[in-house]
Amino acid sequence: MEQIGKQVKLPLGRALQIAVQGIRIRFGRSLVTVSGVVLGVAFFMSNVTSQLIKQAIADEREQRQTLNLMLTLMKSEIGDLSGKTVALATFGETTVSERDLLAVLRKTPGLTLGAPEALGGKAHLLLVLGAGPATASPDILTAGMAQPVLLDSLAERAYPSAKPGSSLAQVRRELFFGRESEEQADKLKTQAEQATFRTLWIGIISILVTIIGIANALLMSVTERFREIGTMKCLGAMSAFIRKLFLIESAMLGFAGAVIGTALGTLLSFAGYGLTFGFGLITAALNVGGLLVAAAACIAGGTVLSMLAAIYPANFAARMVPASALRTNV
């Protein structure tokens, strides 16, 4: 007689095929499951996007304010900028505001901008920008200027010491912008922490909603398919195969839902803020990298969450005794 063997393990492809077929045929039910994921993920993603957009708006505003402050300071020193000569020394990395300032200065009609040594003391004002330490002392930088005026963007910039006997005292050092005061920094920090906490809390809620929604929809789908599962078991399907079937189905629905949800959440946020503040403002300083990371995380998270939610229903289906297929009148 033939010997009893171990039941073959079906390739994943077959389970995938059956799962896809199931989703296609039960499209309406699948849509319900997917919409659960879509809502959860969209909710989460719109929150993340809103945070990023708010941050972008705040950054952009700060930059514009800083720029205005810089221009005002320059004007208060030397009056109208038109027809003036400004020496420029840059040490290290420049900030966005500094670059914006340079762009504005270059566009100002009648204003000459050049390196201190090239201008040869004809400059009305010396502008020192960048984040690095200066490589020349103030007296050298301002050499030849009738009335040495030095505007520095950094309060605590390190300068090489001046030659002994030079008239450093005559050089006026003004600050474009010092660091924010401690108080302000603390306030901003607290606000940021609150925002993070809120995002986290909303995130947790949306995750729970998604998990429960999917688990419920899948449980329904298991109950609906009780007889089908039992029949498959009678025909020689193993519990692992049934489990695989439901996990794959859920992962696919989860992925589809997460993609749609991510797109929807992002678009809604953009539309909302864009219509209120103008698309120029929100896109100018937007952290695109952060947005992409968040989107990828949402899609991956949605898929994984759907699979997590499917564990219970899948096990429930897999544990079913084949005999129940014989007599269930569902």
Partner 1 sequence: MDNDLQQLLNDGATAEKSGYVIRAVDVKRVYRNGEVETHALRGASLDVKRAEYLSIMGPSGSGKTTFFNMIGGLDRPSSGKVYIDQVDIAQLDPYELAWLRCRKVGYIFQSFNLIQVMSCIENVMLPMSFAGVSGEDARDKAMDILERVGLADRALHKPSEMSGGQQQRVAVARALANSPDIVLADEPTANLDLKTGEEIIELFWKLRSDLGVTIITATHDLKMLKRSDRIVWIEDGRISKISTPDEMQIQIEEVH
Strand-strand pairing, 172-175 and 149-152: parallel
Q: In what order do the strands lie in the sheet with 85-90?
A: 112-114, 85-90, 125-129, 149-152, 172-175
Q: Which structure tokens are listed for 319?
A: 């544990």
H helix intervals, the chain: 12-25, 27-78, 96-107, 116-119, 138-141, 182-224, 226-234, 239-277, 279-284, 288-318, 324-327
Select from 12, 25, 103, 205 the one that contacts partner 1 (CB under 8 A): 25
28 makes contact with partner 1 (CB under 8 A): no
106 makes contact with partner 1 (CB under 8 A): no
220 makes contact with partner 1 (CB under 8 A): no
Closest approach, Cβ 34 to partner 1, in A, equals: 18
Q: How many residues make contact with partner 1 (CB under 8 A)? A: 35
Nearest to 302 by CA among 7, 18, 37, 2: 37
6 makes contact with partner 1 (CB under 8 A): yes
What gap in Å lies between CA 321 and CA 330, rounded to an integer? Answer: 16
Q: Which is nearer to partner 1, 10 or 311 (CB)?
A: 10
Helix (H, G, I), strand (E, B) or coil at 88: strand
Q: Which is nearer to partner 1, 10 or 284 (CB)?
A: 10
What gap in Å lies between CA 40 and CA 205, rounded to an integer? Answer: 9
Residue with tokens 């398919």: 225
Helix (H, G, I), strand (E, B) or coil at 254: helix
Q: Which stretch binds partner 1 (CB under 8 A): 35-43, 206-214, 224-232, 284-292?
A: 224-232
Closest approach, Cβ 24 to partner 1, in A, equals: 8
7 makes contact with partner 1 (CB under 8 A): yes
What gap in Å lies between CA 246 and CA 222, rounded to an integer? Answer: 9
5 makes contact with partner 1 (CB under 8 A): yes
Closest approach, Cβ 245 to partner 1, in A, equals: 12
What gap in Å lies between CA 309 and CA 295, rounded to an integer? Answer: 21
What gap in Å lies between CA 82 and CA 84, rounded to an integer? Answer: 6
Select from 16, 26, 31, 64 the one that contacts partner 1 (CB under 8 A): 26
Task: Restricting to residues 130-159, name those near partner 1 by CB under 8 A.
Answer: none
Task: Restricting to residues 299-328, name those near partner 1 by CB under 8 A.
Answer: 321-323, 325-327
Closest approach, Cβ 328 to partner 1, in A, equals: 9
Select from 55, 85, 90, 239 the one that contacts partner 1 (CB under 8 A): 239
Select from 140, 228, 308, 312 the one that contacts partner 1 (CB under 8 A): 228
Q: Which is nearer to partner 1, 23 or 105 (CB)?
A: 23
| Residues at the contact surface with partner 1, assessed by CB under 8 A | 1-8, 10, 14, 21-22, 24-26, 227-228, 230-239, 241, 321-323, 325-327, 329
